[in-house]
Structure 1
Amino acid sequence: MKKILFLIIIISVSMHGYAQDELNNKNKPIQSKNLDNKEAVPPTEDAPKADDPTIPKEPVTLKINPDELFNNNVLYKREANVPGIFYRRNEYLGGFVTKSITSTIRYRDAAFVDGDKIKVYLNDKVIEPEVSLDGEFKGFKITLVKGINKIDFEALNEGSASPNTAEFQVYDDQGVAIESSQWNVGKGYKAVIILYKE
């Protein structure tokens, strides 16, 4: 019985040692067969240049009447005529012309972080159902369609200190700032920016 047990132990040890030998082999890289066949590399997009963007001195802007834009009662809540309260209204942040293929939009709480939340729309379709604003920039990148690209930021609340405040930045695909500003809107109201792709 001892001989059989001894034989099993010897065989197991020798098989274990043989299996470990595979790890000692060095990897050999695979050579490419055809070095002349190179695929085209798409252009890289540049990240935003700085946290404090410099806006071009004379950006090309759109002439849009905000009253006509906010006239649609289905999309926009009516302004509340409350004396001394300026933020119970929709806010037009501007319209800008660009040749950019994509655009990066970034936002954060403009004042102290107090729990502000927003919903983001692109051409009246929800793309971010709920975003909590904090001290760090968050955002998204969109592919611009030819013509109007309307971005709405709806205030879901006003946090612990009214109104819903945010700093936002808009960049083109070269990382150059198109616009940088702030919004101050009440719950249910929207801040709107329009990018027009030529």
Structure 2
Amino acid sequence: MNQYFSFKGQIFILGLMFGVLSTAYSQEGFGGDFKVKAAPVKKKEVKETKVKDVKFSNEDFNKIKSYEVQGLDKNEYKVPEKEEYDAEKLAKRDQDLGVVKTSSGTAKVRYRDAAYVDGDKVRVYLNYVIIQPEVLLNAEEQGFDIDLKPGLNRIDFEALNEGFAAPNTAEFKIYDDQGAVISTNQWNIAQGYKATIILEKE
């Protein structure tokens, strides 16, 4: 029994010593400090590609078809000529001063020279009948009163001259029977032309 135990004890001691020696040897092989080093990453090479210059010939451009819009009306708009904005040409036409609706039984028409007094003269018509053959416009208001008939009452101012500074200019106001202004405007007309306003009695 003692011999068997001593034999087993000897084997255990030998095995223990072998294990210690193998551990010490393996640590010396790695140089003491054991560190894990990552494998180096391989860089991918990017190849540069050069784009060749693209050249078009005249034949290539001739093959390109222009885009045409279908189904649209033709644009016939014409830009007004410069002369249509010429004050002298604009004065050489009859001037429409509009239509004023009123329930008033009478109207007071007052007018005076619009700029400075330069000798402008007018002739006044009421429903195509001359009511003032010749009026010299001055800086102070002057005019006439009329009884309004049901319907349209037409007043024309005809330029007899243009004074010292063309054209014939004047500003006017029309009052109803309550003294309220129902129209105010001005005319700029050359000699021989008319400015017309219509009072419509409702």
State whether structure 2 residue 104 is matched by structure 1 residue 100: yes
State whether structure 2 residue 190 is matched by structure 1 residue 194: no
- 1:124 corresponds to which of 122, 128, 131: 128
Q: Distance between the aligned counterparts of 2:93 and 2:182, measured in 1?
A: 24
TM-score by length of 2: 0.57
Stretches of structure 2 that go unaligned for 5 or more consecutive residues are 1-82
The CA deviation string for residues 83-112 of structure 1, in whole angstroms up to 9 with x for no partner, is: 832100100011011100000000000001
- 2:177 corresponds to which of 173, 176, 184: 173
Matches of residues 26-105 of structure 1 in structure 2 within 5 Å? 84=86, 85-105=89-109
Following TM superposition, where does structure 1 have runs of at least 4 consecutive aligned residues deviating by more than 3 angstroms?
A: none
Could you tell me which amino acid in structure 1 is paired with residue 132 of structure 2? E
Q: Distance between the aligned counterparts of 2:128 and 2:121, measured in 1?
A: 18
How many residues are treated as equivalent by the alignment? 118
| Displacement of 1:82 | 8.2
1:142 counterpart residue number: 146
C-alpha spacing 1:174/1:83, structure 2 compared with 1 (3 Å): closer
Could you tell me which amino acid in structure 2 is paired with residue 99 of structure 1? S
Q: Distance between the aligned counterparts of 1:169 and 1:83, measured in 2?
A: 26
Could you tell me which amino acid in structure 2 is paired with residue 119 of structure 1? R
Could you tell me which amino acid in structure 2 is paired with residue 168 of structure 1? F
1:184 counterpart residue number: 188
State the secondary structure of the residue aligned to 1:135: coil
Matches of residues 4-43 of structure 1 in structure 2 within 5 Å? none
1:28 counterpart residue number: none
| Displacement of 1:186 | 0.4
Identity of aligned residues (%): 57
Q: Distance between the aligned counterparts of 2:185 and 2:99, measured in 1?
A: 13
- 1:162 corresponds to which of 150, 166, 171: 166
Higher helix share: 2
Q: Distance between the aligned counterparts of 2:105 and 2:185, measured in 1?
A: 22
TM-score by length of 1: 0.58
RMSD: 1.3
| Displacement of 1:137 | 0.3
Larger relative contact order (C-alpha < 8 A, sep ≥ 6)? 1
The CA deviation string for residues 54-78 of structure 1, in whole angstroms up to 9 with x for no partner, is: xxxxxxxxxxxxxxxxxxxxxxxxx
Q: Distance between the aligned counterparts of 1:83 and 1:148, measured in 2?
A: 32
State the secondary structure of the residue aligned to 1:86: helix
Q: Distance between the aligned counterparts of 1:164 and 1:96, measured in 2?
A: 23
